[in-house]
Structure 1
Amino acid sequence: MNTHTFEIRDDFYMDGEKIKIISGGMHYFRIPWQYWRDRLEKLKALGCNTVETYVAWNVHEPKEGQFCFEGMYDIKKFIELAGELGLWVIVRPSPFICAEWEFGGLPAWLLSKESIRLRTNTEPFLSLVERYYQELFQILTPLQLPYGGPIIMMQIENEYGYYGNDVNYMITLKSSMEKNGAIVPFVTSDGPTKQTLMDGGIPGVLPTGNFGSRTRERFQIMKECIGDKPLMCMEFWIGWFDAWECGKHNTSDLEENKKDLTDMLELGHVNFYMFHGGTNFGFMNGANFYDRLEPDVTSYDYDAILTENGELTKKYYEFQKIIGTYTTLPKVNFTTDIKKCAYGTLAINRKVSLFSVLDDISKEVVSPCTLTMEQLGQNYGYILYRTKLHRGTHIKKCRILGAGDRAILFAEEQQVGIRYNLELEQEYDFEVPKEEVTLDILMENMGRVNFGLRLEEQAKGIKKGVAFDGMLHCNWSHYTLPLDNVDQIDFNKSYKVGTPSFYEFELDIKEACDTFLALNGWGKGCVFVNGENIGRFWERGPQKRLYIPAPFLKVGRNQIIVFETDGKIGENISLEAEPDLG
């Protein structure tokens, strides 16, 4: 076993010698595991000596007390692979990660705990973190540098100075990590202001900064706070993320990026955020809430150094030139053969309405009042609320109270309105076909907020109820729809135009390649490829095509299922060779 020492003094030292950390961020849980080696090889060829990753609690404990470290979530395999390639690893295993990831990485089931206070030195939150750490650190502890592994640093919490100032909470987290085996140096990371560095800091732990511009100014502020300690930008934001309806794919100013990178390498150390962004597969995109909810798109391309599907960019080559003036660039052979294909246009093979298969993929739960997803043990996806309404044919002043995030209303399976975001609690009138009707409300969880002070308000579905003309309506049936069982859909049942429906396509291929799904003319929904949820689509963009990695396909026949909620159906779908992020 080759053991080394890593120390934080006036600088970073490896075995007593000064080193410069040139790191790139990539999240194993956003990348098919079959492509980890490719992405890490490209990181090394850039000139980086380190890879950084968050650890997402919600993928590792998807249900309370049930842990998962397999497939895309096999963090042990990812870290060992980095070590095999000669890379060091910075691990950020805080309970909360932000990361534009659903609920900032916190498990949604935390919200089923009455009166829980998140990210504070309180129970039951700390006990649940401790139980998680007991599992996680069985993996992380032996992979630390003193034991022959590649992990050189760990982060305590994440940008806590933007959230709170409970120093006892930070101390408790550090103690828990140490108790479970952490022995490498700790860091914190916060915005580069004196207040955030102070509020998010902990005595004896190195603060690092997160920013994307004005490096010399930011480092000077940090220097005044940390004194004779190394300066590091833990998140050099070299791009940005996209939200639905934001208008266009966000990109950075490359010349400004280059100037900031030069300054960082001259003055200190850097971690690119992101070297490679990857994809928010499934329902795992996060959201922000400032004036209104802003859910993130499926792609996490981020205008990163590698594209969403792992290709080298102009930014890669320009950064490589700069890094090459500070270190010797290694010779790296890229060992993964990755191809892109346009498989062409596919016609609908079979289709069936959600209302026809509701009892096949969900079980009715009856309650006088509306229940949230979390109260029903559901984390992600959709939930359908059903009731009998006897208020005449003109329904007045409908309000959906305490709801998140998007509602589609149906009377006798005919759409009578869509309410989204701030519209939900606004009064709304609509017509129904007869005096007494079955009213269905299909709610979509568009992604829980991952930043700011609204974390504890992220219950999804309908929390407070539905009111008509100032009166709260009671007696509801609930159907949870996480859509983790699309194999149970019976396409032999009936289809009705204009209703939420499942559409099946078949793809026969001789070679599995990366491809991009275009849904021209389709409204809103999500897509499953051979049972894998590849994410959401929405005609409002900016993202127009969904990435399908080759490992999700197989030689021979493949099944693609599109779930569309708004009744807007294109003539077909197509599989293209290039992305379209808007």
Structure 2
Amino acid sequence: MPDFAIGESDFLLDGKPFQIISGALHYFRIHPDQWADRIEKARLMGLNTIETYVPWNAHSPRRGVFDTSGMLDLELFLRRVAEAGLHAIVRPGPYICAEWDNGGLPAWLFREPGVGVRRYEPQYLAAVGEYLTEVLRIVRPLQTDQGGPVLLLQVENEYGAFGNDSTYLKWLVELFRAQGITVPLVTVDQPEDEMLSAGGIDGVHRTGSFGSRSVERLATLRNHQPTGPLMCMEFWDGWFDDWGGPHHTTSATEAATELDALLATGASVNIYMVHGGTNFGLTNGANDKGVYRPTVTSYDYDAPLDEAGRPTAKFHAFRDVIARHAPVPPLPDFPEPGAAPEITATLGEPIRLLDRPDSWGTWRGHDSLPTLDDIDAQFALYRTSLDLEGSPILQLGEVRDRAQVFLDGDPVGVLSRADHDRAITLPRGRGRLDLIVEDQGRVNYGPRIGEPKGLIGPLQVGATTPASWQTLAIDLNAVPELWTATLPTTAGVGPTAYRAAFSLTEATDLFVRTDAWGKGFAWVNGFCLGRYWHRGPQHTLYIPGPVLRAGANELVVLELDTLPDPAVRFSTVPDLGPTEY
């Protein structure tokens, strides 16, 4: 079996120096029928290794569950990497950041009082132990010394930017080893002295994360890693976008120059990302450094392979650089995207949430205001009755993250976390108060990881605190099935589901345009494409070809605000928005 080890100055594969030239592909952001295509294109760019995170919350939406079906089949993904003749790096966290909801930590983890966050705390450690046991059971037989592709595993993730609990980090290392992990372990931190000191573990190889000033930052890393190979575990070749901001791009020429400088030192690299993929469903994360900024659905990242897996100028620039340092395979001709199908389809058959809420879920009663976590929801309807004089002010402790306010079915306004909204004046004090609350993505970086979602009390209307609430947790996965049990109504205010049928001559990658819609979610043939929002920057949602079929297809949209134009339009190229505002 191949032997992989850390030498005095190099990684060693079967005793010979081996420069890792890797790229990040997140299996959970790519349709499984497209894994082989993305891996092969990464190989054609000149990579010899593929790296992936493992998202705990996706695999374990509930404690005691570890789902490996469909897009979560980690074992199959790693076998696809091996079939392409490439090696693999696995980064299971438990925290991964990745602009992923809650940084990969499951929401249920924080429902127990006193549970720790990324530290040596018994409740937290017990849950982490259950998770890593499942992940490492999959990875163990796929290690290099077992004939598999996995060269390295990473412990935690940029821990020096969060804490300095060395006992916790050592416990993780002991768990990895106890579960049969024999390949080298690494940590990653930004190349700053404090972070490298706090996030490193004696006996575990340190790596860095950066996207510029490579030689300088490798020198900082060398100060903390006196022997062994230097490696940039995250060479940032692009960036992510948030709603309301510009689409981030980086110069292919400048990024390639930095990559060249890095490889010329003999250091190893993991390009983050070689292909970003998509935050399908409600999986996007968010940042909050004083202003809440949820990440968009596209995770294109301005990577060498775009959201549909097509090579970009950065692909060719990086391949030219890699060819100076390692052999690269011959490059085939890549087909250009064809014209978008001309389809005449209109979103119709509306089913309005406030007209027929009973068909959207089951009501539950509460004696106090619950959070979204209390009702295990990411989208929910809250209801209470008011009997007050005048036009009172509704005030909340905090909204996480967006609440639409209705009185007797009439819209009053929106409370937005991004705008720091916590109060709104009601037109009258009597009537049925409805609040439709959306979790727009959990913070994935910094001290707000693990915070509760939804309406954070106290909630007051005037001088009173409503004590009786009903909630209806809406299962968004069930929205495409609404028409099986509910007759359409007429369109009106508030969240409304629409659907449209369209026909294709062949199943192929497409983008559906969303710039003429408001804010909401979209599904094709029951597969959730993710969120759209007229704020942009992105104005298309990616539809993987395997989700479509030749012949009849169905598009479902849940519009939360206003649908100015119900027409359905497709494109074969993405529209990710302007690069500056």
Q: TM-score, normalised by structure 1?
A: 0.95
Report what 2:248 is aligned to. 250
CA distance in 2, matches of 1:95, 1:555: 40
CA distance in 2, matches of 1:101, 1:345: 35
SS at match of 1:110: helix
2:360 and 2:475 in contact (8 A); partners too: no
User: What's the CA shift for 1:482?
Assistant: 3.2
Report what 1:50 is aligned to. 49
Aligned length: 574
- Cα RMSD for the two superposed structures: 1.8
Bigger mean CA offset, 503-512 vs 146-155? 503-512
Q: For the structure 1 residues 8 and 76, does the alpha-carbon distance in structure 2 shift closer, same or farther, using more than 3 Å as the test?
A: farther
2:500 and 2:556 in contact (8 A); partners too: yes
Amino acid at match of 2:387: H
2:101 and 2:283 in contact (8 A); partners too: yes
Structure 2 residue corresponding to 1:452, chosen from 446, 449, 457: 446
User: What's the CA shift for 1:288?
Assistant: 0.4
Q: Deviations over 1:247-300 (max 9, x none)?
A: x21001223212211111011111100000000000000000012110000000
SS at match of 1:66: coil
Report what 2:27 is aligned to. 28
Amino acid at match of 1:439: L
CA distance in 2, matches of 1:528, 1:552: 10
Bigger mean CA offset, 541-550 vs 365-374? 365-374
Whether 1:428 and 2:424 are equivalent positions in the alignment is yes
Report what 1:259 is aligned to. 257
Report what 1:135 is aligned to. 134
Report what 2:100 is aligned to. 101
User: What's the CA shift for 1:513?
Assistant: 1.1
CA distance in 1, matches of 2:113, 2:337: 48
Bigger mean CA offset, 497-506 vs 485-494? 485-494
User: What's the CA shift for 1:337?
Assistant: 11
Q: Which runs of 5+ in 2 are unaligned?
A: none
2:400 and 2:454 in contact (8 A); partners too: yes
1:244 and 1:294 in contact (8 A); partners too: yes
User: What's the CA shift for 1:496?
Assistant: 4.1
Amino acid at match of 1:528: W
Whether 1:385 and 2:382 are equivalent positions in the alignment is yes
User: What's the CA shift for 1:510?
Assistant: 2.1
Structure 1 residue corresponding to 2:476, chosen from 483, 488, 498: 483
Report what 2:184 is aligned to. 185
Q: Deviations over 1:29-53 (max 9, x none)?
A: 0000111111111111111100111
User: What's the CA shift for 1:216?
Assistant: 1.2
User: What's the CA shift for 1:228?
Assistant: 2.1
SS at match of 2:186: strand
Report what 1:513 is aligned to. 508
SS at match of 2:89: strand
Structure 2 residue corresponding to 1:528, chosen from 520, 523, 530: 523
User: What's the CA shift for 1:361?
Assistant: 2.5
Whether 1:221 and 2:214 are equivalent positions in the alignment is no
Residues 269-288 of structure 1 mapped to structure 2, 5 A cutoff: 269-288=268-287
Whether 1:501 and 2:500 are equivalent positions in the alignment is no
CA distance in 2, matches of 1:417, 1:475: 22
Residues 296-307 of structure 1 mapped to structure 2, 5 A cutoff: 296-307=295-306
Residues 373-412 of structure 1 mapped to structure 2, 5 A cutoff: 373-378=372-377, 381-392=378-389, 394=391, 396-412=392-408
CA distance in 1, matches of 2:331, 2:173: 37
Q: TM-score, normalised by structure 2?
A: 0.95
Amino acid at match of 2:508: C
User: What's the CA shift for 1:165?
Assistant: 0.2
Residues 56-205 of structure 1 mapped to structure 2, 5 A cutoff: 56-205=55-204
1:343 and 1:576 in contact (8 A); partners too: no
Bigger mean CA offset, 71-80 vs 326-335? 326-335
Q: For the structure 1 residues 141 and 258, does the alpha-carbon distance in structure 2 shift closer, same or farther, using more than 3 Å as the test?
A: same
Q: Deviations over 1:468-509 (max 9, x none)?
A: 224322211011113121244135142341221001111112
Report what 1:235 is aligned to. 234
CA distance in 2, matches of 1:243, 1:535: 14
Amino acid at match of 1:397: I
SS at match of 1:319: helix
Q: For the structure 1 residues 423 and 542, does the alpha-carbon distance in structure 2 shift closer, same or farther, using more than 3 Å as the test?
A: closer
Whether 1:360 and 2:354 are equivalent positions in the alignment is no
SS at match of 1:376: coil
SS at match of 2:139: helix
Whether 1:569 and 2:564 are equivalent positions in the alignment is yes
Report what 2:13 is aligned to. 14
1:111 and 1:374 in contact (8 A); partners too: no
Amino acid at match of 2:575: D
User: What's the CA shift for 1:527?
Assistant: 0.5
Amino acid at match of 1:280: N
User: What's the CA shift for 1:137?
Assistant: 1.6
Q: Deviations over 1:374-397 (max 9, x none)?
A: 21233xx31110010122452x22
CA distance in 1, matches of 2:338, 2:127: 43
SS at match of 2:536: coil
1:356 and 1:493 in contact (8 A); partners too: no
2:237 and 2:250 in contact (8 A); partners too: yes
Amino acid at match of 1:502: A
User: What's the CA shift for 1:11?
Assistant: 1.2
Q: For the structure 1 residues 111 and 325, does the alpha-carbon distance in structure 2 shift closer, same or farther, using more than 3 Å as the test?
A: same
Amino acid at match of 1:239: G
SS at match of 1:41: helix
Report what 2:310 is aligned to. 311
1:117 and 1:456 in contact (8 A); partners too: no
Percent of aligned pairs with the same residue?
37
Q: For the structure 1 residues 559 and 217, does the alpha-carbon distance in structure 2 shift closer, same or farther, using more than 3 Å as the test?
A: same
2:406 and 2:413 in contact (8 A); partners too: yes
Report what 1:552 is aligned to. 547
Amino acid at match of 1:191: Q
Q: Deviations over 1:15-71 (max 9, x none)?
A: 110011110111000000111111111111111100111011111111111111111
CA distance in 1, matches of 2:135, 2:332: 32
2:479 and 2:497 in contact (8 A); partners too: no
Q: For the structure 1 residues 85 and 259, does the alpha-carbon distance in structure 2 shift closer, same or farther, using more than 3 Å as the test?
A: same
1:38 and 1:336 in contact (8 A); partners too: no
Amino acid at match of 1:508: S
